[in-house]
Amino acid sequence: MQPTKDDPHNKKKNFSGHGKSAPLVSWHFKEFSRKPFFRLSIRYKLALPMLVLVCAIIFFVLYTTFNVFRDMMVKYKEIRLQTIAEVFSKTLRIPLESGDKKTLQSNIALLAIQTDVEEVRVEDTQGNLVGTSRPGGDFLPGSYNKQDFFGVEKVSDDNYAVVAPILGKGKKLGRLIIVFSKIEFEQELSRLFFEKFLIAFLLSVVLTIIVAGLTWLVMRPLIVLQKTARNILAGDLEARADIHSMDEIQEVGDAFNKVVSRLVQSFDHLRVRTHALEESEEKYRSIVNEVSDIIFSITPEGDLVLLNRGFSGYTREEILAEGLPLFFSMHAQGEAQKFQDALETIMSSKKPILHLNTKHYHRLHHTEVYYQTNLSPVVDYEGNLRLIQGVMRDVTDLRRVEMMKETLVRDVAHELKTPTAKFIMTLQWMEKQILTMPEHEKLLPIIKMLRENADRLMRTISSIMDLSKVESGMSDVKKQEIDLNDVIALVVKDLGPLAEQHHLKLESHLSPMPLRMIGDPDMLYRVFGNLVSNAIKFTSDGKITISSSLRGADICADVADTGIGIEPQSLQKIFEAFYQKTPSTLGIGVGLTITREIVSLHEGEIWAESDGLGKGSVFKMIFPVHPNQEKHF
């Protein structure tokens, strides 16, 4: 979990750094009231496409009609000229037979004076020019130049050639060629087309204006609605749309007015609640700033986003600016990794970690500072981790008192342990000497009673020393990746013979898959050893069962017996130090306390369940699974 490289000033969003909150609602929404660079009214959006569409349709109809009519007229003119050429060729037969060139030329000139005739030519059967209306004129190319061609042919964009044979007495005397123009005809058609199109266009414009006007009348209520919305955005909350169009738009306007009225009421209520929330936030901010504990928040990305005060010789601003790297560097050697492991455990399990003890070095005083931290995950409704909330308390003074107490207890226990060990050794020597005496049968029970009480005293001293170490955090915890099934199997193997001595059956129902976790195998062995030993102690008949399983991100383990059971009011008390139901109960009542502390050191939980006296009991435990558990399947 590494902090990001973002600007630290962007991370200083905390209760003590805020001023008062800005008003919840600002009515000058510039982003909504800003006018676009170019705006086209809806009536024009409807009228202009209609104008273009109508003009296109009119143009298409007129253009198609023009082409069809032009083709018809050209065809008609071709037939007419073909007929004229055939009739005129008969008038040329006599001059051509008699060789009267003057008459022939006169007839050619008579035909050539027509407005649409460009040239008249007469050729003999050999293709020689006999007469023409344009002496020395250009001879247009085309198929009509061939001697065997008769009919009509287009020789250029503006000219047609009509060829008719000149016949006399059953034989061919030559042929008549007339070249005529269609320019004047097409110009007349083009002029007519332009006039009709211009009239149609003007009518379309008038129609478009009418449509735009009608559209404006229809859109006028919407314009009123738009102006009302702009007035409301500008801050006039009393503005309403006055629409009387007697149609669907009026219904929309009425609905709009109702929505605005309800929104105004909601904003009024929201404004009141916001004011109350600001007052509550101010009170909470003052509480957070004045509380002696250190309160902080860390994002899953590693950003320190909230801190109410500085600590360990650093100011709040310094810690917020540097973030988690500085936070980790304050810890003593090995302590930073413990804190980082706790953060990673919360990120993977999304469960709180309580009573995390860490040690810092004070930057200014160069002394050790002890903190106890509670870390809690903040999860959204989808189950995603949003924040890690931490409360860190300075327990240095309490720690010093605890250390004094632990030192005293340890010293007293140590002072008691040495003479007790010597007393036990003396009893062992005396037992060997008494065995050689004739009256040893009378003395051995006394020696046995002394030895049992000495052993009990030694166990009591050892338990007190172990409890002191566990509670002070001075136990040598050697965590590593282990399989909890292996620990449980070893306990069953070692304590099975002891259960058989008490005529009990020790069974195990282990998970078929490995239960990977981070823990100290020796300490976990002691947990299950204590629980099984207690079960043997308080079970006269039946069996003891150890079971394990994997449930999601948790490793579950149970130790169940068919013993004397536990009263409901004692289910919590049995984990308290030196708790005994009766003074005659074996032990001093610290075994379950040590068990609970060891389970806590492994970020786990333990509790007892029982249906009552005589119905047995079950001790249940939950441990966090190893983050890479899925990689082992």
Q: Which of the residue ranges 36-40, 57-61, 450-454 has the most confident prediction, judged by mean pLDDT? A: 57-61
Label residue 390 exposed, middle or buried (CB < 10 Å: 0-12, 13-18, 19+): buried
Q: Which residues of 167-176 are buried (b: 16+ CB within 10 A; e: fewer)?
A: eeeeeebbbb
pLDDT bracket for residue 184 (50, 70, 90): low
Contact present, 81 and 152 (Cβ < 8 Å) = yes
**Tens-place pLDDT, residues 580-607:** 655 445 555 677 888 888 888 888 899 9
pLDDT of residue 1: 40
Write down all domains in the chain, each with its CATH number in brackets.
38-236 (3.30.450.20), 476-633 (3.30.565.10)
Higher pLDDT, 349 or 299: 299
Evaluate if residue 138 carries a pLDDT over 70. no
Beta strands 480-483 and 516-519 are antiparallel
Please name the residue that has the structure tokens 């340890």.
Answer: 410
Evaluate if residue 477 carries a pLDDT over 60. yes
pLDDT of residue 560: 93
Q: Which residues, 6+ apart, have CB-to-CB distance to 428 below 8 Å?
A: 451
Q: Tell me which DSSP letter residue 143 carries.
A: G
pLDDT of residue 584: 44
Token pair for residue 360? 């810092």
Residue 244: other Cβ atoms inside 10 A: 9
pLDDT of residue 80: 75
Low-confidence winner among 52-66, 318-332, 435-449, 460-474 (lowest mean pLDDT): 460-474
**Tens-place pLDDT, residues 225-269:** 888 888 888 888 888 888 887 778 788 888 888 888 888 888 888
pLDDT bracket for residue 548 (50, 70, 90): very high
pLDDT of residue 36: 52
pLDDT of residue 620: 94
pLDDT of residue 365: 85
**Tens-place pLDDT, residues 558-577:** 999 998 888 888 888 888 76
Evaluate if residue 102 carries a pLDDT over 80. yes
Residue 283: other Cβ atoms inside 10 A: 10
pLDDT bracket for residue 557 (50, 70, 90): very high
pLDDT bracket for residue 13 (50, 70, 90): very low
**Tens-place pLDDT, residues 185-235:** 566 667 777 777 788 778 877 877 887 777 777 778 888 888 888 888 888
**pTM for this structure?**
0.41
Higher pLDDT, 22 or 574: 574
pLDDT of residue 589: 63
Token pair for residue 406? 């632990």
Q: Which residues, 6+ apart, have CB-to-CB distance to 566 below 8 Å?
A: 574, 608, 610, 613, 617
pLDDT bracket for residue 83 (50, 70, 90): confident
Q: Which residues, 6+ apart, have CB-to-CB distance to 370 below 8 Å?
A: 357, 358, 359, 360, 394, 395, 396, 399
Q: Which residues pair with 180 in a beta bridge?
A: 117, 160
**Tens-place pLDDT, residues 141-172:** 554 566 667 777 777 777 778 888 888 777 78
Residue 232: other Cβ atoms inside 10 A: 19
pLDDT of residue 33: 44
- To the nearest 10 degrees (0 to 180), the angle between helices 42-91 and 101-112 is 160
Q: Which residues of 537-563 are buried (b: 16+ CB within 10 A; e: fewer)?
A: ebbeeeebbbbbebeeebbbbbbbbbb
Beta strands 504-509 and 542-551 are parallel
